[in-house]
A and B are shown apart, each in its own frame.
Chain A
Amino acid sequence: MAAATNPVMGREPLPDFASLVRANQAMVFSIALHYAHDRSAAEELAQDVFLQLHRSLGDMQSAEHAARWLRKVAVHRSIDHARRSRFRPQVGLEDAPEPVTPAAAGDPMLTERLRRLVASLPEKPRAVMILRYQEDLDPEEIAATLGMPLRTVKSHLQRSLVMLREKAGRAFTPAAGRQNLSTEMGEVE
């Protein structure tokens, strides 16, 4: 498959569509999965995002630009999907007993609990958490992706982390969490 035309001279040619799909499908699918809550709906959502990329390929300037574009579109379409379906799973805490010892790295029970807690957040705070912890964006990048004021991003992060720390149980030491939170957030409103 021929590489897509890159209209900007002197830059690396834009990878072909198939390469862009392979490079970004995990990111797009995972974002969609946090909102769609079942695999087939997430795949459908992700496919729609890539077909939209396909239609807009001529506007892409680089692989990085395409990745940023995909991330933004995936988040916005996922939020729209969630708002239309208005489904947020209730977290059945009885099904995820509170850990009594500090969580070891890769604790599958804690991982699942956290995933479900994040999935129970409202759409925009959930997007902030996904962009922070799945995509490793800093708050300024999150604000640009979501079209949200920086202070709102920080507020969502702070509140969500507080909730997660409370509900995830004694796995996390509150004092250490607060210290790291203030370090991470800088000045928090």
Chain B
Amino acid sequence: MSRLDDALREALRTQDPGPEFTARVLTAAAGARGKQSWWQLPRLRWATAAALACVLLAGGSLEYRREQEERQGRLAKQQLVLALRIAGSKLNLARDRIQRLNAGD
């Protein structure tokens, strides 16, 4: 096994995100489970299924839309930063070349 292989294994060693991450994932998963279990209550299922469906659908849609908007917003932010980075770097490239030309390089 080459030194490069060893060095790459060292460089790409996994990093554990820690117990806080675990807790966040389990909390998020439990949140998803909680909604399902509420919906499965047998009395409510038959007696108020239609009304609850409307309420949940509206609430779920709102929540879904909010999450969608958040995702879109974060993605738009990333793309914005990327676009401005490209713009800025090309401007700097031109400026750098001009400066070098003026310096007689």
Contact = CB atoms under 8 A, between A and B. Distances in A.
A binds B: yes
Contact of A54 (B13, B29, B75): B29
Interface in B4-33: 4-17, 21-22, 24-26, 28-29, 32
28 contacts: A21-B25, A25-B25, A26-B14, A30-B12, A30-B13, A30-B14, A42-B17, A43-B21, A85-B75, A85-B78, A87-B78, A87-B82, A102-B3, A106-B10, A110-B7, A110-B11, A111-B10, A114-B8, A114-B11, A129-B8, A164-B8, A165-B4, A168-B4, A171-B3, A172-B3, A172-B7, A180-B5, A181-B2
Interface string B66-105: 0000000001001100100000000000000000000000
B20 to A, nearest CB: 9
A63 interface: no
Contact of B4 (A17, A112, A161): A161
Given A105-B10, A107-B7, A171-B3, A29 B29 contact: no
Chain B interface bracket (under 10, 10 to 19, 20 to 34, 35 or more): 20 to 34
A184 B6 CA distance: 13
Interface string A168-180: 1001110011011
A25 B16 CA distance: 7
Contacts of B29: 17, 50-51, 54
B21 A47 contact: yes
B3 A84 contact: no
DSSP majority for the A interface? helix
B82 A105 contact: no
Interface residues of A, number: 54
B1 interface: yes
Which 10 A-B pairs rank lowest in CB-CB distance, beginning with the nearest? A180-B2, A114-B11, A26-B14, A30-B14, A134-B12, A26-B16, A133-B8, A85-B78, A29-B17, A54-B29
B1 A180 contact: yes
B7 A29 contact: no
Interface string B45-65: 000000000000000000000
B4 A177 contact: yes
A8 interface: no
Interface string A88-111: 000000000000001101110011
A46 interface: yes
Contacts of B26: 17-18, 21
B4 A172 contact: yes
